[in-house]
Amino acid sequence: MGHGGNIYEIEEKYNIPQNELIDYSANINPLGVPLALKQHIIKNIDTLINYPDPDYRELKTAIAKFHQLQIEDILLGNGAAEVLHAFIRTLKPQNALILQPSFSEYERALELVGTEVMEVYLKEENEFEVDVEAVMRQAEKGVDLIILCNPNNPTGRLIPRPQMIELLDFCEKRGIFLMVDEAFMDFADEENRLTLLQDYRNYQRLFVVRAFTKFFGVPGLRLGFGVTGNKEVIQALKRGSLPWHINSFAAGFGIVLKESNGYISDTYEWLRQEKEIFLQTLQQLKSLKVFKPDGNFILIKLTTDGINTTDLKEKMLEHKILIRECKSFKGLDERFFRVAIKDGATNRYFIEALKKSLGEWE
Amino acid sequence: MGHGGNIYEIEEKYNIPQNELIDYSANINPLGVPLALKQHIIKNIDTLINYPDPDYRELKTAIAKFHQLQIEDILLGNGAAEVLHAFIRTLKPQNALILQPSFSEYERALELVGTEVMEVYLKEENEFEVDVEAVMRQAEKGVDLIILCNPNNPTGRLIPRPQMIELLDFCEKRGIFLMVDEAFMDFADEENRLTLLQDYRNYQRLFVVRAFTKFFGVPGLRLGFGVTGNKEVIQALKRGSLPWHINSFAAGFGIVLKESNGYISDTYEWLRQEKEIFLQTLQQLKSLKVFKPDGNFILIKLTTDGINTTDLKEKMLEHKILIRECKSFKGLDERFFRVAIKDGATNRYFIEALKKSLGEWE
């Protein structure tokens, strides 16, 4: 399917054990599994003998409190992937507009329900910033749904708030649904954390998708949610929900949210320290064009002729580092790759490995 | 939604803590969480920082070996519920035939895709045995799909192999799909363990659904699978699968299957010892009609006028025991309830509590 983070394929193909591989291809908080979650799992391991609460009251209450939402507006998901697929399957739009390059599951989900997909391409000359005017112009031709990833994966840019509000008003007026996937929003700098989670009540056509497991370092746990103030939509989504689709350990994630203050401040401390250094160091390297990231990952372009990411990936794997080639993203090619931001020591090791790999071409 | 095992609702309504409640309403192996799984989870807790293998190679290999299946014929599910919903959503039958009373998710899944549902009622005077002739007669009126639960939940009876083969041949000849949910098959007596898992290669219209989490005492983990020899169907199902829908701990369930010999033999030893005793003791009680179980749960009818299961449930909760009222099942009413079979000591406590509860009416 071509997502990042496939360390199993690497183990099989390159004989690098999973626990030795340094995975820069998945954009996960390097602080790792929160202690509160580990304690919760170990303490409650025997409760696997029970079905999870089919209504997930405790979890929904914790999420509502953490993000200041109404419980009844929340749709839980077995990962954000289930949420976005459920929304698209329920809405079943005739025509939808997506950006390219972007997370490939939107297109896949739309194709599964037979939606005609229109695409607006982000332009390298604009640093892949989202041109909201272009989106609206295209949408005026007639779409039922617009899907945005904010910040966008893999290009990393956020849509500024004024433009997002303009788009929201446009959608509201024309009866176009707007799905905004904020999977990486929590990693944005504080002044730029432009979530729509506090706006959803004011827009009947807005559906916001969120993930917990990237920010809290636990993609293996599977937990995401969606939120909308549209009663008809949320009820249809809940009618279609599978029973017990959130496993017991993910259902207990509320304990992490309640005890998250230290983890969150540590995460922002890490990002504050490492993001700028990593970015600047990358920018100093020859052969690279580095795109400014609003989240916790960086899109990079190889600018020297004769170098491509397939070769670079192989060379980096000699250092047991996995990068995310971006040629599977529409609008990108063999010159683009994406890397996560990790802790300082690992980033320095990454830079050394990258220098050596690039140096071999010089 | 009205499934068993909602110990959270009971805690809220009756103020009985989850860990004090004796849950006879969910049909789960009382041997509980296998030691191999606990060790696996604790040892691998930090691997939650990785996405699960999107192809789940290790898990599929283990399942294929355990049940002697072809890897490519297996569809994994986030619980058997996801498997059956996925199959129905993919097949999208115009007309389907189900039995009543039976597990309510079949009907719910069919209604979600707009299928017209035909029902064949199991008859109390036949001990709720499945009348395969009646199923075929009804199916001849024109259906695309027949759904069976074998042994059937909540009535507990297995379809004998000759009749099942007759039905399979009938379906194959007429081009009718047959989905058989074997969620409780592993609990059947050895001579009666009439799984179709070894037949699926010979029938292009057969889809078998299985769960691991009831037999292995871990419904909170979420893991089921489906299997079919129909290449077109399995490919369509895989195309529609969500990425990473099996969490990391469930993805590691292969370790349990590999080390399962002791757990399995202990389970059959328990069933051999306790099932017959529990059954006979229940049969001796006045006011009850007990239906012979082929699985690990028993359907019971209150036969004295003026007694109903709503009252009985309340009385049993005074002993911190939860039973499954069956009035939400079509074809059953306020006189029917279902109980799991547990370990000897707990079953004796259950019998005492039941005697006291029934005695209060005498």
Distance of alpha carbon A263 from its chain centroid, rounded? 19
pLDDT at B29 over 90: yes
CATH 3.40.640.10 location in chain A: 35-258
Q: Which of A46, A51, A243 sits opposite B26 (nearest CB)?
A: A51
A-contacting residues in B 111-130 (Cβ below 8 Å) = 112
Read off the pLDDT band of B193 (50, 70, 90): confident
pLDDT number for residue A90? 97
Which residues in chain A have Cβ-Cβ distances shorter than 8 Å to B6?
51, 53-54
Q: How far is CA A38 from CA A259, B203, B231, in A?
A: 12, 46, 41
Higher pLDDT, A250 or B4: A250
Chain B, residues 261-280, CB within 8 A of chain A, namely: none
Per-residue model confidence (pLDDT) at position A102? 98
pLDDT tens track for B214-248: 999 999 999 999 999 999 999 999 999 999 999 99
Residues of chain A with CATH 3.90.1150.10: 7-30+261-359
At A136 the pLDDT is 98
Residues of chain B with CATH 3.90.1150.10: 7-32+261-359
pLDDT at B14 over 90: yes
Q: How confident is the model at residue B306 (pLDDT cuts 50, 70, 90)?
A: confident
Calculate how close chain A gets to B306, using CA atoms only, in Å: 32
> Which pLDDT score is estimated for A2?
72
Chain B within 8 Å of A77 (Cβ-Cβ)? no
Determine whether the interchain pair B245/A55 forms a contact, defined as Cβ–Cβ distance below 8 Å.
no
Assigned CATH topology for domain A7-30+261-359:
Aspartate Aminotransferase, domain 1 (3.90.1150)
Intervals of chain A under pLDDT 70: 1, 191-192, 361-362
**B8 and A222 in contact by Cβ < 8 A?**
no
Query: Nearest-CA distance from A349 to chain B in Å?
Result: 20
A 213-232 → B contacts, CB under 8 A: 217-222
Residue B1 clears pLDDT 50, i.e. is over it: no
SS3 B87: helix
> In CATH, what class is A35-258?
alpha beta
Percent of chain B residues past pLDDT 90, beyond the cut: 94
Give the Å distances, CA to CA, from A121 to A99, A333, B63.
Answer: 6, 14, 43
State whether A47 and B18 contact (CB < 8 Å).
Answer: yes
Output the pTM of the full model.
0.96
Reading the block at residue A313, the tokens are 């990936």
Q: What confidence tens digit (pLDDT) does each residue in B41-92 have?
A: 999 999 999 999 999 999 999 999 999 999 999 999 999 999 999 999 999 9
Helices (H), chain A: 7-14, 35-43, 57-67, 80-91, 105-112, 132-139, 161-174, 231-239, 248-251, 254-258, 261-284, 309-317, 344-359
The 10s digit of each residue's pLDDT in B98-152 is: 999 999 999 999 999 999 999 999 999 999 999 999 999 999 999 999 999 999 9
Residue B186 scores a pLDDT above 60: yes
> What ipTM is given for this predicted complex?
0.96
Q: Is B306 exposed, middle or buried (0-12, 13-18, 19+ CB in 10 A)?
A: exposed
Average pLDDT estimate for B337-342: 98
Taking CB atoms and an 8 Å limit, are B18 and A50 in contact across chains?
A: yes
CATH number of B7-32+261-359: 3.90.1150.10
